[in-house]
Structure 1
C-alpha cells in the first residue's frame, strides 16, 4: 500500500515538473504553430542564377517572418537543390521545404530559366492548407497581406491589361485540379510562352471577367475567382515613371520586379540605375544580412589595396626595366605592347565588375568596384607610363553618373532620365578626349622606344618617370 502511495506521489511530482517546463517553454520561446494557410514559393536548379534566386527566396521568407504573418512558409524545392540550402531554409528561416521532382515541360522555345517554372503547379498539391498564396522570389512585401487567404479558388493581379501575372496569386489546393493540370500538360494544352505564365493563364481564361476582390469584414472565405487589386503586385516600372507610388485601388502591399533579369534588385549594380533596388537591400540588411558575402569582400579589398601599394613600391624597379639595354624593338613588338596596354586599360574597368559578389549591398559593391578599378588602373599606369589623370577620367565619369542617378529630389522619372542623358551628353566628349590622349601617349612612347632604348643610352636617374 505504501509502495502505491510512493508511485502516485512520484507521478504527481513528475507531472508538476513537466508542466513547469512546458510553461517555461511557452513563456520563453514561441512554439511553432500549425496554420491552415500558407505562403509558398519554389526553387529549382539548372540556371546561371541559382544562387541569386536562393538569396532572394530567403530574403522574402525572412521579410514575411518579420511581418509576423499568420501562415506557414513553404518552399517547393526540386530534388537537386543543395541540402545545405534546404537546411538553411528550414533551420534558419523557419520554412517548410517540400521536395519534389521536376515537372517535365513539353513545350519548346522558352528561355532556359523558364523551363522548370511549371513546378509552380505543385502549389495545388498542398492540400493540407485551405488557401495558398504562391509567390515568385522577386516580391518585396511592404506590409502583411493575410487578407488574401479570404479570396476564392483562384485570384490574381492584372499588371498587363489583358494578362494576369503569376508572380503572386491565391489558390485553393486541390488534388483534382493538380491532376487535371498535369493531364493538360501531357495532352499538349495550348501555352503561349511555354512557361507557367502562359499555362496558368490558359487554364483560367475567364479571370478578366471576374469581380474585384474585397476581403469580407467578418473574416469568412469567398468562393469563386477574383481579380486582385494592383496594390498586391505593384510593378516597379510604375514607380520609375513618377518616382513615387500612386496606386489608388487596394492597399500598396507588394512590389514586384518583373523586368530584365540583370537588373533584378538583388544585384549590387541595380542601384542607383533603378532606385527601388536600395529598398530590397534594406530589407535584406534587416533580415538575412550579408555575412555570406563579407569574407570575399574583405579578401578582395585586401588584394586591391595590396596591388596599389605594390605598384608604388615597385615603381623604381619598373622605371629601371624600361631603361634596360635592349636591341631596337620591332614593329611586331610595338604592336604587342600597344595591344597589351589597351587591354590592361579595359581590364581595369571590367575585371572588378566581374569578380565582385553579385548580391552584396550596392554601396559596398560600388565602393569595391572603384577600389578595384583604381588598383588595376595603377598597374597599367606604372607599367606603360600612361598619364594618370587621363586614365582615371572615365572612372570619374562613372562616379558622377551614379551621383546624378542617386539624386533623391527629382520630380519624376522623366526629369531624372533627362538629367542622366544630359550628364552623359556633356561628359562623353571629356571621356573620349582622355582616351585619345592615353592612346596618343602610348603611341609616342612606343614609337620613341621609351620602353626599350638603344644599348648606347644611359639609364636616367629614378624619378624622371615618376607620376604625380
Structure 2
C-alpha cells in the first residue's frame, strides 16, 4: 500500500515536471525554427555593465512585443553572471551563445577608449551559421516597428548616420566562418582600426560600402546578394530629433532610433530626461515590457530614509539660548569659521549625494522626484542644525525644479527655441542663486555670533577677557 502511494506521488511529480517543460517550450516557441535572428552582445568589465544588461533586456522584450519573425540571440562573454543568462533565456526568450573574449590588440593606441576594449566580440556574429541572415544590434536601439525586411538584404548592409562612416549599432550580415576567421586574422596582424573598437575595424573591413547601392526590399521576399547601404530610417540618430523636436527623415521607413551620443546620456539613465526628451520613449518601452521591479525596493528604502531625516532633524532642532558671554579671542573665531565651512559643505553635499544614490536605470519621473526629496531632506540638516532660514537654502532646489519644467515643456516649436528658453531661464536665475548664497552666508554669521553653538564649551572662570553682551 505504501509503495502504491509513493508510485502515485512520483507520477504526480513527473506530470508537473512535464507540464513545466511544456510551458517553457510554449513561452519560447516563437523563436524555434527561424532562419534569421536579431543578435546583440553582452560583456563584462565596464562600470556600466548592469545598465547595459537592463538595456539589452528591454530591447529584446520590445522586439518580442512587435512580433518579429526571427530568433533573439545574445552573444555573451564567459564571465557574464549565470543569473543574467538565465533571465535572458527563461524570461526574455533569448538564445544565449557564450564565447570567450576576443583579444583586442588595438588597446595600446593613443586614442583608444578603454570602454571599447571588448567590443570586438561583435565579430562573433559571423559565427551564427545556423541562420541565413543576422541583424546585429547595440543595446541603445529603440524599435518603433517591425523591420524583418532587413533579412532580405545581402552579405553586409549598414546605415551611414555619418556622411562618410557607416554605423555599427545596427547592420545586417550573412554568417560565415570563413569571413569570421579572416576577420580574426586581420585583427591579429593589426589591420588599420581608427578607434580600436568594432566601429573602426568593421568600417575598415568593408571600406567600399559608401559606393554600394541603396537597399530596397524586393516585393517577392527574396534575399539579395552583395553589399548595400541601408536607408537612414533604420538608424535614426536621436540628434536629428532634437533639432526640430520631431522626426524629419524622408529616406526609408522610420523604424529604429539609436542613441550614439555621450555614454552618460544614454536613454536608460534617469537624469537623461528631460535633457534629452526621447529618453521618455525608451522608458515607456521598459514600463510596458520589463518594468521596474528590480529598482523599486531601493527607491522605497531611500524615500523612507529621507522622510525620516526630515522628521528627525526637525524634532532635534536645537532650542538654543542666547550666549551670556562671548569670549573675544582667536579660538572662537577659528571655530566659527570652521562651523561656517561645515554648514556650506552640508548644503552643497545635500544637492550632490542623492544624485549618486538613486538607481541609475529607474524611471526619470521617479528618479527626479527622489532626487528632489533627497536634496530637500539633506538640506534640512544644515537648516535645523545651524538655524538658517529655509528659503535661501532651497533657492537652488527651486531653480532645479524650474529648469526641469522649462526643459520638459512639450510646446516648443523646435529644439533651438527650447535651448534659448533654457538659457534665458538660467540667465535670470543666476543672480537669484547668487543672492541666496550671500543670504545664507550672512545668516550663518549672525547665527554663529548670537546663538549658543558652543554652549559653555569655551567657558572658564570669568576673566577680564570676557565681554558681557546682556
Q: Same fold (TM over 0.5)?
A: yes
Q: Which runs of 5+ in 1 are unaligned?
A: 1-20, 457-468
Sort the Cα spacing of 1:413 and 1:323 in 2 relative to 1 into closer, same or farther, 3 A.
same
Question: How much has 1:319 moved relative to structure 2?
Answer: 2.4
Q: When the two structures are aligned, how many residues end up with a matched partner?
A: 433
> Is 1:100 aligned to 2:105, yes or no?
no
Question: Secondary structure in 1 aligned to 2:163?
Answer: coil
Question: Secondary structure in 2 aligned to 1:98?
Answer: strand
Question: How much has 1:444 moved relative to structure 2?
Answer: 2.8
The separation in 2 between residues aligned to 1:302 and 1:26, in whole angstroms, is 39
| Aligned pairs (5 A) from 1:415-454 | 415-448=417-450, 450-452=452-454
Contact 2:24 2:90 in 1 (8 A): no
> Is 1:71 aligned to 2:58, yes or no?
no
Task: Report the equivalent of 1:31.
Answer: 29
Q: When the two structures are superposed, what TM-score results if normalisation uses the length of structure 1?
A: 0.89
The separation in 2 between residues aligned to 1:223 and 1:352, in whole angstroms, is 54
Contact 1:208 1:227 in 2 (8 A): yes
| Aligned pairs (5 A) from 1:104-183 | 104-107=103-106, 108-109=108-109, 110-183=112-185
The separation in 2 between residues aligned to 1:90 and 1:322, in whole angstroms, is 68
Alignment deviations for residues 113-166 of structure 1 (CA, whole Å, 9 cap, x no partner): 101000000000110000000000000000000000000000000000000000
Sort the Cα spacing of 1:308 and 1:322 in 2 relative to 1 into closer, same or farther, 3 A.
farther
Question: How much has 1:401 moved relative to structure 2?
Answer: 0.6
Question: How much has 1:27 moved relative to structure 2?
Answer: 13
Task: Report the equivalent of 2:308.
Answer: 306
The separation in 1 between residues aligned to 2:89 and 2:151, in whole angstroms, is 23
Question: How much has 1:430 moved relative to structure 2?
Answer: 0.6
Question: Secondary structure in 1 aligned to 2:442?
Answer: helix
Contact 1:77 1:97 in 2 (8 A): yes
Sort the Cα spacing of 1:28 and 1:138 in 2 relative to 1 into closer, same or farther, 3 A.
closer
The separation in 2 between residues aligned to 1:330 and 1:314, in whole angstroms, is 24
| Aligned pairs (5 A) from 1:23-422 | 31-32=29-30, 33-107=32-106, 108-109=108-109, 110-315=112-317, 318-320=318-320, 330-422=332-424
Question: How much has 1:331 moved relative to structure 2?
Answer: 2.8
RMSD value, Cα? 2.1
Contact 2:28 2:93 in 1 (8 A): no
The separation in 2 between residues aligned to 1:326 and 1:117, in whole angstroms, is 67
The separation in 2 between residues aligned to 1:160 and 1:241, in whole angstroms, is 16
Alignment deviations for residues 84-112 of structure 1 (CA, whole Å, 9 cap, x no partner): 11110000000011100000000023111
Contact 1:151 1:223 in 2 (8 A): yes
